[in-house]
Amino acid sequence: MIHNIKFRAFVYEDESADEISQAILNILPEAEIEAEEAEGLLENKILILTGVVSKKRYTKAFFNTLLESVDLDKLNDDLERKMDEKGNWFLRFDKSDAFDEKWTILDNGDSIHLKVKIAAFPAKKQIAVDKVREAILN
């Protein structure tokens, strides 16, 4: 059902890259994390952690854990708003909760960003929404 999961998280100067990496691994245990240095607006150093998980067994494990870990009614209610026209589902998880192995979905703020590509043919929003909604409700 999921083609791949791309992730991104920003590590600011007052945060630990090891802790944010562990938070990512608590959500995506098989993730291979790449780091890139960047500079913020105020010339502060930022580390950007990114990667892609695409093996089917890992994406399936992620989705199954997601269904066990979050409020399914909220997930279902937010589905249309968080899916783009090409079937990409955008989720954000609280970094500190993820470090503590809790999956808290956020709408904004400093978080771990996921772009989940839903396997839908043709790749259209409504087909992807229907596939995810069916999985949530069953």
Whole-structure pTM value: 0.95
User: With contact defined as beta carbons under 8 Å apart, do 6 and 50 qualify?
Assistant: yes
Tokens 């999961």 belong to 5
Cα gap 29→60, rounded to integer Å: 12
**pLDDT given for residue 70 in this prediction:** 96
> For the chain (length 138 residues), average pLDDT per consecutive 10?
97 96 98 96 92 98 97 96 98 98 95 97 95 94
The SS3 call for residue 128 is helix
**pLDDT given for residue 128 in this prediction:** 97
